[in-house]
Amino acid sequence: MTTESNEPFKTGALAVEVRDAVLKRGATTILDGVSLSIDRGQCVALLGPNGCGKTSLSRLLLGQLYPTSGRVTVLGRTLGQTDVRELRQHIGVVNPTTDSTPGPGSFHINGAVVDASLSVTEAVCTGYFATVGLYDRPTQGQREHARATLQHVGLGHRLDHRFGVLSTGEQRRALIARALVHRPELLILDEPTAGLDLAGREQVLATVDHILRSPHPPAVLMITHHVEELSPMTAKVCLMQKGRIVAEGPADQIITPESLTATFGCKVYVQKRHGRYWLEVLPEAWLDLVGDRSANG
């Protein structure tokens, strides 16, 4: 890539359209008839417990995995009928929990690995070339856009610092800038707050909210376990369980004590305050989760 951004794919109103996707590995069914749509510019949250298939679904969207059956269309391009390397140039990814260190001949689209000795601006510029180090020379326009993107995520005071000296939260926001720098049409955030402390998490969430409120946001797939991480700008919530999407709709309809208790297997209460959802787990729920150990010795 040599320009600041790719020519956008101007096809259709949907950024993502997955129809009846099944993904099997050996005897394991990882995705079991998943359908999902995301409008262009829309934020959809994918919530579900560990191991329910969230990351596998995101890897389908990235063309890293192919469905065993079903159809996956991203930005108007259908997997199996398109050059996924070209498609990936239009997608930004932040997936800090996934070890996707690129190997020889692999694509590099992860948001987690970047050469820590680079300046923050250079680290963001690697997003133009989908590389870990900065092996290509960014144009002046690209550098300026990288710096503007860093301002956008609240790191304007860190432009020339070494990436490695940033706090984990700042690094995460720099990686969001890196995922945004080539102006993707789809942004996949796979547990973007994993491992962050309270302030770091809130900084990332504020950054995501800020992106969603910008005039021309990308479509965003926010993958998380935590309802409190949903932006008030979230248009649709999908609950996932055992490889299936078991409920989807506006957040107020989906984020209910009943649905979350069923999905996460833990009795919860939900409150909505200031546009955000908060869960409460009473100590009684612990008994359901671990049983009365003292009674069993």
Ligand X SMILES: Nc1ncnc2c1ncn2[C@@H]1O[C@H](COP(=O)(O)OP(=O)(O)OP(=O)(O)O)[C@@H](O)[C@H]1O
Counting contacts by CB under 6 A, is residue 195 touching ligand X? no
HEC secondary structure over the chain: CCCCCCCCCCCCCEEEEEEEEEEEECCEEEEEEEEEEEECCCEEEEECCCCCCHHHHHHHHCCCCCCCEEEEEECCEECCCCCHHHHHCCEEEECCCCCCCCCCCCCCCCCCCCCCCCEHHHHHHHHHHCCCCCCCCCCHHHHHHHHHHHHHCCCHHHCCCEHHHCCHHHHHHHHHHHHHCCCCCEEEEECCCCCCCHHHHHHHHHHHHHHHCCCCCCEEEEEECCHHHCCCCCCEEEEEECCEEEEEECHHHHCCHHHHHHHHCCCCEEEEECCEEEEECCHHHHHHHHCCHHHHC
Counting contacts by CB under 6 A, is residue 27 touching ligand X? no
Site size toward ligand X, by CB under 6 A: 11
Counting contacts by CB under 6 A, is residue 12 touching ligand X? no
In the list 17, 48, 123, 179, the residue contacting ligand X (rule: CB under 6 A) is 48
> Minimum CB separation from ligand X for residue 26, in Å?
6
Counting contacts by CB under 6 A, is residue 54 touching ligand X? yes
> Minimum CB separation from ligand X for residue 60, in Å?
10
Residue placing its CB nearer to ligand X in the complex, 89 or 259: 259
In the list 18, 52, 134, 196, the residue contacting ligand X (rule: CB under 6 A) is 52
> Minimum CB separation from ligand X for residue 240, in Å?
7
> Minimum CB separation from ligand X for residue 98, in Å?
8
> Minimum CB separation from ligand X for residue 66, in Å?
13
By CB under 6 A, which span of 50-58, 117-125, 151-159, 206-214 interacts with ligand X?
50-58
Counting contacts by CB under 6 A, is residue 25 touching ligand X? yes
| Phi (first) and psi of residue 30, to 5 degrees | -85, -45
Query: Environment class of residue 60 by beta-carbon count within 10 Å: exposed (0-12), middle (13-18) or buried (19+)?
Result: buried
Residue placing its CB nearer to ligand X in the complex, 150 or 247: 247
In the list 7, 10, 50, 294, the residue contacting ligand X (rule: CB under 6 A) is 50
> Minimum CB separation from ligand X for residue 194, in Å?
9
> Minimum CB separation from ligand X for residue 195, in Å?
13
In the list 28, 81, 140, 294, the residue contacting ligand X (rule: CB under 6 A) is 28
Residue placing its CB nearer to ligand X in the complex, 26 or 215: 26
Q: Which residues bind ligand X (CB under 6 A)?
A: 25, 28, 30, 48, 50-56
